[in-house]
Structure 1
Amino acid sequence: MANWKIDASHSEVGFKVKHLMITNVSGVFTRFEGTVRTESEDFHDARITFEADVSSVTTNNQQRDEHLRSADFFDSAQFPRIRFVSRQVKKVSGEHYRLIGDLTIRDETHTIELSVTYNGTTHDAQGHARAGFELDGRLHRSDYGLRWSATTDTGGLILGDEVKLHMNIQIVQEVGVAANV
């Protein structure tokens, strides 16, 4: 069994949501961690855990970021972590997979399916094995208790319900760590 950890300094966890239904606002979580355990070289049997620190959300707008951390959205004081635990990895073809797991936000847990592209494995200058992945998915924020909404003077929505997820993840194999099976 091989154990891997997310290299957060070479990874990105982002999202987009419609603003005024005409453009997207993008954001990222800057503090996160995760593990991957696998027996295979192509990760088809991977078991994955991931957590993001809600207070690390940033959209490059301080007022909006504070609102996202408030009880209207993530309520970071009461629910400080977003958590994902995989259930199944399905190889679709070649380097393309479907990752199915449970996503928990604000103590609301729902199954989510992510499209994954495995970009390969290599070794860094110190000889550590590294693997790269690109993940995409969608969720409805209202499913997770993120129901804040408002309308414009003309009756249009300020914020969409669908959230697009996009992640670039690099993992590094842990050396000399025994796995608990």
Structure 2
Amino acid sequence: MNLESQFSGHWNIDPAHSRIGFSTRHAMVTKVRGAFNDVQGFAEIDPHDLTRSTVEVKLRVESIDTRDANRDAHLKSEDFFHAEDHPYITFASSAIDEVDEGQFIVSGDLTIRDITRPITIPLELTGIDTDPFGQTRAGLEGSRRIDRKDWGVQWNTPLDSGGVLVSDKVTLEFELSLIKDQEAPAETGNQTS
């Protein structure tokens, strides 16, 4: 894969074909998975000089979906994400490093409940191809474990066994489909001011 010719440019996240989700232990024995259905963001990639590359992502908290309406309502409440006061979770990159061919470490600031902390996310470029509609697409996948209490998400309930209902450790899951911006048309000489 010629990264420099294919991955260069401005890419927008395709929310219909992307998933930014999470999983965590529930009652110490099973996993609960969820995702945010409203995902916006872009990547500006300069493979010749990755210091000039940026990534920004914005998730609407109200779009959280764990396949259980009562649990979703609880996650949106003050106990967890407090969607009314903190409607978005955001990520803005500060550095992108290619650690191997198609393997990247994206460093940046993750903001949840107005608490911003640095985080690094490993992402793998899974492919670049043209879809049937002529759009160039890139796929990226990765995951990263965090401690939710670092971002002020602290609610829990003790279990009789001595454990807790919800694990503090949460695995963030990224399955991204990016669509490349088409090249801007050449300027014409009949512009008016």
Question: Is the pair's TM-score, using the shorter chain for normalization, greater than 0.5?
Answer: yes
Paired position in structure 1 for 2:152? 145
- Larger deviation: 107-116 or 92-101? 92-101
Paired position in structure 2 for 1:156? 163
What pairs up with 1:12-161 in 2 under 5 angstroms?
Answer: 12-40=19-47, 46-161=53-168
Is the contact between residue 146 and residue 171 of structure 2 (CA under 8 Å) also seen in structure 1? Answer: yes
| 1:4 counterpart SS class | strand
Identity, % of aligned positions: 33
Q: Supply the distance in 2 between the matched residues of 1:55 and 1:177 (Cα, whole angstroms).
A: 34
| 1:127 counterpart SS class | coil
Is the contact between residue 44 and residue 91 of structure 1 (CA under 8 Å) also seen in structure 2? Answer: no
Counting matched residue pairs gives 178
Q: Which amino acid aligns with 1:160?
A: S
Unaligned runs of 5+ in 2: 1-7, 186-193
Cα separation, partners in 2 of 1:177 and 1:157, compared to 1, 3 Å: farther
Q: Which amino acid aligns with 2:42?
A: T
Shift of 1:105: 0.3
Q: Supply the distance in 1 between the matched residues of 2:16 and 2:50 (Cα, whole angstroms).
A: 22
Shift of 1:153: 2.6
- Larger deviation: 71-80 or 119-128? 119-128
Is the contact between residue 50 and residue 97 of structure 2 (CA under 8 Å) also seen in structure 1? Answer: no
Q: Supply the distance in 2 between the matched residues of 1:13 and 1:42 (Cα, whole angstroms).
A: 27
Paired position in structure 2 for 1:169? 176
Match among 3, 17, 34 for residue 10 of structure 1: 17
| 2:164 counterpart SS class | coil
Shift of 1:144: 0.7
TM-score when normalising by structure 1: 0.92
Shift of 1:31: 0.6
Q: Which amino acid aligns with 2:167?
A: G
Q: Supply the distance in 2 between the matched residues of 1:58 and 1:82 (Cα, whole angstroms).
A: 15
Shift of 1:45: 5.4
Q: Supply the distance in 2 between the matched residues of 1:156 and 1:134 (Cα, whole angstroms).
A: 32
Q: Supply the distance in 2 between the matched residues of 1:155 and 1:28 (Cα, whole angstroms).
A: 29
Deviations along 1:76-110, one digit per CA (max 9) or x if unpaired, are 00000000001111111122111111000000001
Unaligned runs of 5+ in 1: none
Q: Which amino acid aligns with 1:98?
A: I
| Greater Cα radius of gyration, structure 1 or 2 | 2
Cα separation, partners in 2 of 1:166 and 1:38, compared to 1, 3 Å: same
TM-score when normalising by structure 2: 0.86
Q: Which amino acid aligns with 1:104?
A: T
RMSD of aligned C-alpha atoms? 1.9
Is the contact between residue 117 and residue 134 of structure 1 (CA under 8 Å) also seen in structure 2? Answer: yes
Shift of 1:125: 1.8
